[in-house]
Amino acid sequence: MVNDPAAQDSLYSADAAQDGMLDRESDQPVNDTWITTKVKSSLLADSDVSGLDINVETVNGVVTLSGDVEQQSQVEHATRIAREIEGVTDVNNTALVAR
């Protein structure tokens, strides 16, 4: 584990960028990683949404949900789940589409 916070931030940013998760850099990559993980795991645990079909990205506390789901109600439910996660400042669901 890296003890230098600046080095940790660089590692998280590099990992996220390498994974294609972020189009822009975050001012809080550790918190964003936690938020993304928490939102994704909450979606996967919920039987009313298709968590495997929803991609989650977080930049500076703003969660972006994308992918295809079967019903508009799943878009709304996934958005509600994301909003309830601690640290989330906003949710962008314009790329989450009901088929």
The terminus-to-terminus CA distance of the chain in angstroms comes to 43
Strand 62-69 relative to strand 90-98, pairing = parallel
d(CA 63, CA 71): 20
d(CA 42, CA 51): 8
CATH entry 3.30.1340.30 includes domain 27-98: yes
Convert the pLDDT of each residue in 31-75 to its tens digit.
Answer: 999 999 999 999 999 999 988 999 999 999 999 999 999 999 999
pTM: 0.72
For the chain, which residues make up each domain, given as ranges? 27-98
Q: Using 50, 70 and 90 to split pLDDT, how confident is the model at 23?
A: low
